[in-house]
Structure 1
Amino acid sequence: MNDAQLKSLAAKAEPCMISVDRGLYFRISKEGSAFWVFRYSIGGKRRQLFLGNYGRAPAGISLRDARDLVAHKRADVKNGIDPLAEKKRSKLIEMTTVNQVAEDWLFECAKRLEHPQIPARVYKNDIAPAIGELAIKRVTPPDILGIVRSINESGRPTISNDALTYCKQLFNHAVKLGLFQYNPALALSPKDAGGVEKSRTRILSLDEIKTVFQVFRDNAPIFTRDNYLAVTLLLLLGVRKGELIAAKWNEFDLDKLIRTLPAERTKTKVEIKIPLPELTREWFVELRYRTNASEYLFPSRRASKRRGYISDDTLNHALAKLFGLKVDGNKKPLPNFLGSVGVEHFVIHDLRRTCRSLLAELGIPSRIAERCLNHKIRGIEGVYDRYDYFEERKRALHGLSETLSGFL
């Protein structure tokens, strides 16, 4: 096979794969592009390596150059070197900046984590601006310390601890890739970041619930109706925030007042049917009207290519505004509306704990209350007790709705 013959085949652009030399193949794809392929065996496995496009340098590889290139590849194979593995390895070695390593690390996170957007968000917002463009080998413990201290000083100790954890994972990844000899984040502990975190115990009393929801209603321009309906459902149903804000209308049977939460969207990885109290019917009808044609109960309020429902932080930010922890459109601090009426600070997740505590006050047995929150029953009882307590949960949530009906 000579160069003139190859040019003729390339001009016809008909799909083919022709052996040109030992292990060297000239191939034309269905789309008509001509390129070189090296086929070989190593370790008892057949392998195939793309060498480059056919043509003149620098855009392509000529017949002569392709033969020379394959001769070197054959020598590598003879010496036990896998050219395909070396090509992949070279891409890793070419990583020089923190951003490049982070891209590979976050790609791995996406394959193994249920919520990979969380480390991605912390990296993008808090880590990358400080060290993202630095050469990976230039990062030192003081660089990491500066990041976590800055986050902690901004009033976000939990995010500071998360950032430290993700820095440790990121630089462990760099060490695994052979790009770094040591992990600069290992010298730090939570004491250097947000401090050792204590389990939260905050719950809202019935009097506080009455006051809080009145403040919500009185400040509708700040705490929108959509936010109001979301926190109402969180308190009454006890579901996780992520399970609610990502809810789709096809999960709901409003005639039977049942929501079917698919297994892939639950923390326990088990499908669960959630009974909906009669009190919620009018809320869902209103949400249906407000969401128009969206498939989500709480559609994204901005054009987003990432997902169709609201951000994980939307409700948190809305609540923080009423505690005076955010600023208005003119960058002026908002009043502490909730604090001014005697409400101690709480966060969105505290509503779930409040729901669980109210169920206990109503005398609901622990195993049923835990099922209402879609918690796994612990120990040997959880292994054998596979009953879903649907009717019992229905009665429990109905009782809770009667208790709260005058407040919401």
Structure 2
Amino acid sequence: MALSDTKLRKIKAPYNGEAELADRDGLSVRVSPKALITFNYRFRWEGKQQRIKLGRYPGLKLIDARKKVNEYRHNLDEGLDPRVVQNESRSHNLFGDMCEAFMTKYVMTELRPKTQTLYKSTFNKYVTPYKNIDIERYKYTDWIAYFDWVKKESSSANAGSVLKRFKAVANWAKARGQIKHSHLIDIPIKAIGSHQQKRERCLEWDEVIGLWRQIESSKSTPQCKTCIQLLLLTGARNAEIREARRDEFDLDKNIWLLPPERSKTKKQVRRPLSTGVIELINKLDLIYGQDREYLIAGDIKGKPLTTHAVNRFVQRMNNHLKYPHFVPHDFRRTIVTRLSEHKVELHVTEKMLGHELGGILTRYNKHDWIDEQREAYELYWQKVTLLLKN
């Protein structure tokens, strides 16, 4: 009896039925005890029985598996080995192969470790089960159905993010001449989900002071407490503080030199140290010694404080304070907004954030306004100190 989509959808784990179910023209499916359904094509070549895997359901639909079988039967009629045809298809058209090449040749060589991790996570979760999709032949409506599933399983914003990364693969493969086109490229994000919302959260002065006091009264480790305080006072990125090495900080010159390999712009960033930051680093030196590798060591020897530890601590602060929800990245927006209220110039706050200035300034003006940054950081610390006293 021929297979049907209804019959395949009814297969659930744990499965204890027949291990192989036949369709027609040599097409069959193998079903594992975990209900993993794999299409196979059986044929004879040079007098011997052969079998090749076509793909896994539902990534490969029954109707598409039958089309593949018809193509392979046509190959046999022309004296071609379907296995050779399939291997040629895999090297050029299968989505899983495109993603693997994209990771190896672009992501792992050109992008930053955090972005690499993001792509790895996305591909492991959303590509691996559907790696046998033919990226050129997969229909527009099938892609839409796939992303509707992603949206249902996670969120509208996540579906948009996954599509964005998938389109990056398709555009990369097309630019290199590996594919002619993919319907992925044509899908607008609004058709299947939404863009990630840009955060607007900016702490008010009373919230900054309330958070500082809550940190001071917390029974958490000095590492977590100091990390958040340094993020508040510097406006640096989370990883820039967490993964900072002790020798990046010169307390005699009151300067922090962020090396190019840890900078988002891949250029060295100079940040002056305010009195408050120096006090916090001195406290860490007193507890952990000046010869340690990382400014803020984690629980594992030779490793920095983890993102998980920081986020967990910030969530506890959120739970205690009951403010509108904030995350460490919001501290960057907070410091430049509060300083702008005190007439600190835009180019100065941009350099404090480690940003490149736009337009002609990026190309010709390499000044980082270090003295103006120093004044701004000290102004911010003085304001925090004054409000804490009051």
TM-score, with normalisation over the residues of structure 2?
0.63
The equivalent of 1:320 in structure 2 is 315
Q: Report the AA paired with residue 320 of structure 1.
A: Q
Q: State the alpha-carbon separation in 2 of the partners of residues 217 and 149 from structure 1.
A: 42
2:243 is matched with: 246
Distance in 2 (alpha carbons) for counterparts of 1:91 and 1:249: 53
8 Å CA contact 1:105–1:170 kept in 2: the answer is yes
- For residue 328 of structure 2, what is the amino acid of its counterpart? I
Residues 174 and 380 of structure 1, relative CA distance in 2, 3 Å threshold: closer
Q: Which residue of 1 aligns with 2:335?
A: 355
Pair 1:209 & 2:208 matched: yes
**Partners in 2 of 1:311 and 1:183 — Cα distance?**
39
1:227 paired to 2:224: yes
Q: Number of matched residues?
A: 294
CA distance in 2, matches of 1:149, 1:318: 30
C-alpha displacement at 1:250, in angstroms?
Answer: 1.7
Q: Secondary structure at the match of 1:376?
A: coil
* Inter-partner Cα distance in structure 1 for 2:284 and 2:193: 38
Q: Secondary structure of 2:154's partner?
A: helix
1:401 maps to what in 2? 381
User: 1:263-342 to 2 correspondence within 5 Å?
Assistant: 263-288=260-285, 294-302=292-300, 308-312=303-307, 314-323=309-318, 336-339=319-322
SS in 2 for 1:398: helix
TM-aligned CA deviation for residue 296 of structure 1: 1.7
1:352 deviation in Å? Answer: 0.4
* Corresponding residue of 2:130: 134
Which residue is 1:167 aligned to?
166
Once superposed, what is the RMSD of the aligned Cα atoms? Answer: 3.6
The normalised TM-score by structure 1 is 0.60
Distance change in 2, residues 1:377/1:127 (3 Å): closer
Kindly indicate whether residue 258 of structure 2 is the aligned counterpart of residue 261 of structure 1.
yes
Query: Match for 2:296: what amino acid?
Result: F
Q: Does 2:159 correspond to 1:146?
A: no
From the superposition, tell whether residues 367 and 110 of structure 1 become closer, same or farther in structure 2 (CA, over 3 Å). Answer: same
- Among 105, 121, 134, the alignment partner of 2:118 is 121
Per-residue deviation, 1:278 = 1.9
Per mean C-alpha deviation after superposition, the further-off stretch among 240-249 and 202-211 is 240-249
Q: 1:172 to 1:146 in 2, by over 3 A?
A: farther
Asked if structure 1 preserves the Cα contact closer than 8 Å seen for 2:98 and 2:169, the reply is yes
**Is 1:291–1:298's contact at 8 Å kept on the other side of the alignment?**
no
Partners of 1:193 and 1:122 lie apart in 2 by: 20
Query: Which blocks of at least 5 consecutive residues in structure 2 are unaligned?
Result: 1-86
What amino acid is the match of 1:379?
Answer: G
* Cα 1:337/1:386, change in 2 over 3 Å: same
In structure 2, do the counterparts of structure 1 residues 123 and 303 end up closer, same or farther at CA, with 3 Å as the change threshold? Answer: farther
- Contact 2:173/2:179 (CA < 8 Å) preserved in 1? yes
Decide whether the 8 Å contact of 1:144 with 1:184 is kept in 2. Answer: no
Match of 1:260, SS state, is strand
Superposed CA offset, 1:240-274 (max 9, x none)? 22322221112111222211122333233432322
Identity percentage over the alignment?
Answer: 22
User: Following the alignment from structure 1 to structure 2, what is the Cα–Cα distance between the partners of residues 172 and 160?
Assistant: 18
Structure 2 CA distance, aligned partners of 1:264 and 1:196? 29
Aligned residue type for 2:200: T
**CA shift in 2, pair 1:215/1:368, >3 Å:** same
User: Deviation string for 1:149-196 (max 9, x for gaps)?
Assistant: 42317xxx3x54332211222345566788877546446433356523
Larger Rg: 1
| 1:104, distance to aligned residue in structure 2 (A) | 2.6
Shift in alpha-carbon separation, 1:395–1:178, aligned structure 2, 3 A: closer
For residue 252 of structure 2, what is the amino acid of its counterpart?
D
Letter in 2 for 1:163: V
On the 8 A contact 1:229/1:283 being kept in 2, the answer is: yes
Asked if 1 retains the 8 angstrom alpha-carbon contact of 2:170 and 2:185, the reply is no
Q: Partners of 1:131 and 1:303 in 2: how far apart?
A: 35
Equivalents in 1 of 2:208, 2:352: separation in Å?
A: 20
Q: State whether residues 148 and 192 of structure 2, in contact with CA within 8 Å, keep that contact through their aligned partners in structure 1.
A: yes
Identify the residue that residue 370 of structure 2 maps to in structure 1. 390
Aligned partners of 1:370 and 1:377 also within 8 Å = yes
Aligned residue for 1:259, secondary structure, equals strand
Secondary structure of 1:202 counterpart = coil
CA displacement at 1:375 relative to structure 2: 2.5
